[in-house]
Structure 1
């Protein structure tokens, strides 16, 4: 019997405030409104932004229903939905793409003005379909994925091929695609150019994958974890720098491999104190650094001279990836197994053991933790 018009009670990972423990509790998920879809989540994964959300970023609204990476199946749709139906496999996206607003048609940015990045923890109508013990639940961005069910506005969903690997689809819903897009859409790496990628988690490995696809001649991975060398090479890295085994600065180590520095630097760490190093690792006059990492320090100490010598520092959300036109291309490549995404899948936990995921992330061999619903 269909539950399309009923409130569903299900399990979800909840945090009640900064510094509070994450608990798995029964929550209530309302039916979708006219332009919304209720989704049964099948598989989720952990992104660094999920950790930041526990510390009050990008908003400080609690109680918080966690998670933003994942893939699920349509359980029911609102009355005005015509492009999705029960049983469709979808990826929730934290950005929308109307294809008609000034930003969308400009070709200059992926930040849609009609369906913007949601940073208040609520639906586009500024309400929530989730509650716990009678209290409104907020989500990290456009939805929550560490929940058995969730309601998402249709403009923040991408339908994908049912043959796609569920865990791999979860990885491309945010992290991997962010790095991939940073090289593909933001840096627009040229054939024969040189690229340095700082931080070899899922985002950094996505950047390496795109740099290889774009034809970069030298792809330098920079990390303090020696175990990331093998991962980087699997995605196309040509050189590896372990910053823990040298007293030299990271930018000097990059210049030792390139002479004058790289053409492009992709910053995937969010370490504020390192931003001058990221920029100075690029060539004077033409070097370009794309900042995609987000840490807990939102004020960046920065050496102005690094920019005054003609280099460029560009901020990026989701690596410049558009939620429909670009992410669908990445999803097709994922479905065709064009990326070695199995290299990212290092650990798995059930939703009820979500706190184990945070401990696993501290292990040197951990890249992505998959959450089975």
Structure 2
């Protein structure tokens, strides 16, 4: 299987052949055939040492794919489902996981991100725990769905601006994908 590997020493991505398709090792594992994956600014920052990441792992945390195999305890997904990756993993053991369990996994004291701290989705196939995958509605285009994670990040930031009065001016620095998403969501909110 081909995969994009983060080479932090040489500050580049390398397309490499990995031995095999991941296998089900635990009963909550899901094997996904990746349909599309986005390149995030965090991926680039990690590669250039501006954000901590693990050397030699498969990159990518913005991903859409098709479930091809599930572990015996998985009841929320089945083979053939189109899924989106929820990229942040959490421990479920720390005080913050207990306090914020229904709100946001990034409050976890031990959180990590696929493609930055552990193998991600820039490969032909990937393995994730079922709890990090969400089934997409039928007919939802994959090229649109791969933007769900960056849209969620921007929307979270916009929600932090709720104290601004409607019609207030906001300066957005940069016209990359994130900047354009900020413009779109803020203009929609007025």
What is the TM-score of this pair, normalised by structure 1?
Answer: 0.44
Flag the 1:181–1:20 CA change in 2: closer, same or farther, 3 A: closer
Cα-to-partner distance string for 1:292-312 (whole Å, 9 max, x where unaligned) = xxxxxxxxxxxxxxxxxxxxx
- Matched-pair contact (CA < 8 Å) for 2:89–2:112: no
Give the alignment partner of residue 76 of structure 2, picking from 67, 83, 88: 83
Q: Decide whether aligned partners of structure 1 residues 157 and 149 sit closer, same or farther in structure 2, where only a CA change above 3 A counts.
A: same
Distance in 2 (CA, whole Å) between partners of 1:143 and 1:93 is 14
Aligned pair count reads 182
Aligned mates of 1:190, 1:88 — CA distance in 2: 42
- Paired with 2:165 and 2:70, the residues of 1 have a C-alpha distance of 43
For residue 13 of structure 2, what is the aligned residue in structure 1? 22
2:137 counterpart (161, 169, 183) = 161
Structure 1 ranges of 4+ moved more than 3 A: 56-60
Please say if residues 37 and 63 of structure 2, whose CA atoms lie closer than 8 Å, have aligned partners that are also in contact.
Answer: yes
Q: CA 1:190 to 1:36, structure 2 compared with 1: closer, same or farther past 3 Å?
A: farther
1:102 to 95, 99, 104: 99
Over 3 Å counting, the alpha-carbon distance change for 1:205 and 1:41 in structure 2 is same
Higher relative contact order (CA closer than 8 Å, sequence separation 6+): 2
Distance 1:57 1:30 in 2: 30
In the aligned structure 2, how far is the partner of 1:104 from the partner of 1:204? Answer: 30
Q: Mind listing any 5+ residue stretches in structure 1 that lack a counterpart?
A: 1-9, 122-138, 216-373
Q: Write out per-residue CA displacement over residues 337-365 of structure 1, whole angstroms, 9 at most, x where no aligned residue.
A: xxxxxxxxxxxxxxxxxxxxxxxxxxxxx
TM-score normalised over the length of structure 2? 0.81
Q: C-alpha distance in 2, partners of 1:157/1:57?
A: 28
Task: Provide the secondary structure at the position in 2 that maps to 1:29.
Answer: coil
Computing the radius of gyration from Cα coordinates, the structure with the larger value is 1
